[in-house]
Amino acid sequence: MIVVMKPGAPQAQLDQVIDHIEQLGLRSHVIVGTEITVVAALGEKRDGAKQALETLDGVDKVVPILAPYKMASTEVKKEPTCVEVLGLKVGAGHLGIIAGPCSVESREQILEIAHLVKGAGAAGLRGGAFKPRTSPYSFQGMKEKGLELLADARHATGLAIVTEVMAKEQVELVANYADVLQVGARNMQNYPLLEAVGESSLPVLLKRGPSATMDEFLLAAEYILKTGNTRVMLCERGIRTFEDHTRFTLALASVPYLHQKTHLPVVVDPSHGTGKANLVVPMARAAVAAGADGLIVEMHPNPDKALSDGFQALTPAAFRQMMSECRRIAAAVGLEI
């Protein structure tokens, strides 16, 4: 349920509402909007709770939250959320660009790429140190050494570091080096991991599972929000369909759909979403036109030599082209890079 306070209701009345919600055995979550303050009462349905809350001083009305996800829903918070870390701003009119290699491979590689990313005007540096690979024989990432190199790249450029955490036991380690914790597509429904990143003070980039519905995706985000971390970015990265002309099927309708259902920002990954370098720039343009709040793309100075996903990596020149085209589309749809 959402308890909508009357405009100008004093703090004492708000405190009384919160106390009452907690006495009912529900969790309270206060959202201060530009015009009104609402308190979400979260938990199992309680008989008589609605009526009891409606009679409290300062309460305008009590309305049910219809969506299965609560804190993520636009029913609870209408204003879009902007997730901000260092110079990276994603959401509420800001288009955040995150770029970098699939995997951190060496000091020279990540520093060279970081300078290219920065020079092209992006604000986030991606790069996997712990890599979820389909084959156990593939390169598994540089692990902690890779995290150290990412932190060096932040030091050299000021870019916000976005890197994957694969298991709940790794959250503390990865959080020591990263600015954004990425939960990969394969882990979207790893609930202990979602709760562990929910306890972190760092923002989270949650990638859509390749077979997850929108409700499943939003309920995964809800685990993180409910645990206490409100800085969640959703990432559409393509789903598994019968199609095989692309690595995954990049479902861009999810961008406007999610904007109707949630206040959380939506980032698009056209690299994993297509798996083909020559399709990445057009789909990045399409994502911005569809209203994406951010892009995460793979870029490598020498894609043929990349240790992972070279086939979908943009060259630095193609990345610069993407940036300039996306800037023009962003301006046309009222977004700021």
- The sheet carrying 59-63 orders its strands as 27-32, 37-42, 2-5, 59-63
Dihedral-angle region of residue 218 (phi above 0 means left; psi in -120 to 50 means alpha; beta otherwise): alpha
Q: Smallest distance, Å, CB 272 to ligand PEP?
A: 4
Nearest residue to ligand PEP, by Cβ distance, number only: 184
Select 59 or 129, whichever has its Cβ closest to ligand PEP.
129
Handedness of CA 241, 245, 247, 252 (dihedral sign): negative
Residue number with CB closer to ligand PEP (58 or 146): 146
How far is CA 177 from each of CA 146, 154, 170, 206, rounded to the nearest angstrom? 10, 9, 12, 18
Q: Give the nearer residue to ligand PEP in terms of CB position, either 133 or 327.
A: 133
Q: Residue 184 binds which one of Mn ion, ligand PEP, none, with CB within 5 to 8 A depending on kind?
A: ligand PEP
Helix, strand, coil fractions of the chain, as percent rounded to 5: 40, 20, 40
Q: Which of 3/129 has CB closer to ligand PEP? A: 129
Instruction: Name the residue nearer to Mn ion (CB basis): 2 or 206.
Output: 206
Site string for Mn ion, 85-104 (x = CB under 5 A): -----------------x--
- Non-local CB neighbours of 315 within 8 Å, separated by 6+ positions: 277, 299, 300, 301, 303
SS3 call for 24: coil
Q: Of the two residues 184 and 316, which places its CB atom closer to ligand PEP in the complex?
A: 184
**Which of ligand PEP, Mn ion, none has residue 132 at its interface (CB below 5 to 8 Å by kind)?**
ligand PEP
Binding site for ligand PEP (CB under 6 A): 102, 128, 132, 164, 184-186, 207, 237, 272
309 binds Mn ion (CB under 5 A): yes
- Contacted entry of ligand PEP, Mn ion, none for residue 285, CB cut-off 5 to 8 Å set by kind: none
Q: Residue 240: how many CB atoms within 10 A of its CB?
A: 12
- Partner in contact with 75, chosen from ligand PEP, Mn ion, none, beta carbon below 5 to 8 Å by kind: none
Of the candidates 334, 329, 228, the one whose C-alpha atom is nearest the C-alpha of residue 288 is 329
- The verdict on 293 binding Mn ion (CB under 5 A) reads no
Of these partners, Mn ion, ligand PEP, none, which one is at the site of residue 207 (CB under 5 to 8 Å by kind)? ligand PEP
Q: CA 29, 219, 260 angle in degrees (round to 5)?
A: 80
Binding site residues, Mn ion, CB under 5 A: 102, 309
